[in-house]
Amino acid sequence: MSLIKSCQTQKFEELLVRKGNAEMRIKLGVRSTKVLQILVGVLMRCWVFAGLTILACILVYWTYGKLFAFLLLCLAIIGIFYHIEDNLLFHPDMPAHSRIFVPVPSMFGMPYESVNVRSSDGTLIHLFFIRQPGPLAIRVPTVLFLHGNAGNMGHRLQNVLGLYQNLQCNVLMLEYRGYGLSQGNPTEAGLCMDAKIALDYLASRSDINHKEIIVFGRSLGGAVAIDLASQLEYAQKIWCLILENTFTSIPEMAKVLIGWRLLHYLPLFVYKNKFLSLNKIGHVTVPTLFVSGLADNLVPPRMMSELHQKCGSNNKQLLQFEVGTHNETWTSPGYYHSLATFLRDARVRRGIDPPSSPPPPSFNESV
């Protein structure tokens, strides 16, 4: 009897092991399927272009020989990369569910308005307007916050809380098209268009100080901010510009990240999104603060130095933090104090009276 029970137990354990292995294979299969779906999604977006080009390569090969076919194949590869470049630059779905769940300012104790505006091409854009309480709102600066290339604006709320409390300012957070709850798909022209409508929205509000509008841009947001401030029509609405860990251009970043020698010889038209900030920064004349994290392992800090050097403003400053990383420079000691000091000096240089309220906590040098 004990032998029978032992055999039954052994068979039961074997069944459990087989079931566990089957479940593991299912899980691995699901993961593989997700990866395959992503690859298929990218290929489906450009299958017509790629298919026609391959057909053309075959015809040219039959007609003219290998050289022309090779050249056409090179052009095909460039064309495919051109069409999928948006997927390489913009990451609105990282982390997962970023297009569905957007943390709100009230989670950090900040009162806010959820606003929807239409960009100039009709795309619906989502904004958070975070306002200082009572009459203080009209006496303090307002920051237009432009975030980086991944996630949504809600992922930056802890940083925005620091600005709200330490600089004592209102904050308008812009959600680019194709990000968060905004409609559309992200493109260079589209993001720049969205920044303009956000600035126009601030100009339309009667409960803020229009003389002290600050545009803040980090990483990709810095490139959008430079484009905005380089145009006279919009520069007239901007008091100060703050740029953090941004790049000189997308072609230069491609050389840094990919490292292929071939990229040094590619013409600009190969790049769908260019963000030529180094060419535009010379047209920026508003007071500009360059915040550079020297521990940034994504955007080389030298790019911030190049932008600072070429900036056309008479009032510009390069602020460097030894331990500042690409996304977390704002956690460095003295960060908010340095921003507040720059704004105070800019106010003095323009002869603007300071807000009639106690000094913000940022004048504590450790903050």
H helix or E strand, kind and range, residue 126? strand 124-130
Which of these, 155, 288, 116, 140, lies nearest to 208 by C-alpha position? 140
Supply angle C-alpha 140, 198, 166, rounded to 5: 30
Per the annotation, the verdict on 98 as an active-site residue is: no
Are 143 and 171 a contacting pair, CB within 8 Å?
yes
Provide CB contacts within 8 A for 294, sequence distance 6+.
Answer: 301, 320, 321, 322, 323, 324
Burial of 35 from C-beta contacts in 10 A (0-12 / 13-18 / 19+): exposed
Catalytic residue (choose from 219, 277, 313, 338) = 219
Per the annotation, the verdict on 219 as an active-site residue is: yes
Is the bond leading into 186 cis (omega within 30 degrees of zero)? no
Q: How far apart are CA 238 and CA 233, in angstroms?
A: 10
Beta bridge partner(s), residue 128 = 114, 173
Catalytic residue (choose from 296, 313, 337, 362) = 296
Catalytic residue (choose from 210, 305, 326, 345) = 326
Provide CB contacts within 8 A for 2, sequence distance 6+.
Answer: none
Q: Token digits for 150?
A: 């991944």
Which of these, 108, 105, 151, lies nearest to 130 by C-alpha position? 105
Upper half-sphere CA count for residue 266 (Cβ side, 13 Å): 23
Are 146 and 232 a contacting pair, CB within 8 Å?
no
Per the annotation, the verdict on 249 as an active-site residue is: no
Residues with a catalytic annotation lie at: 219, 296, 326
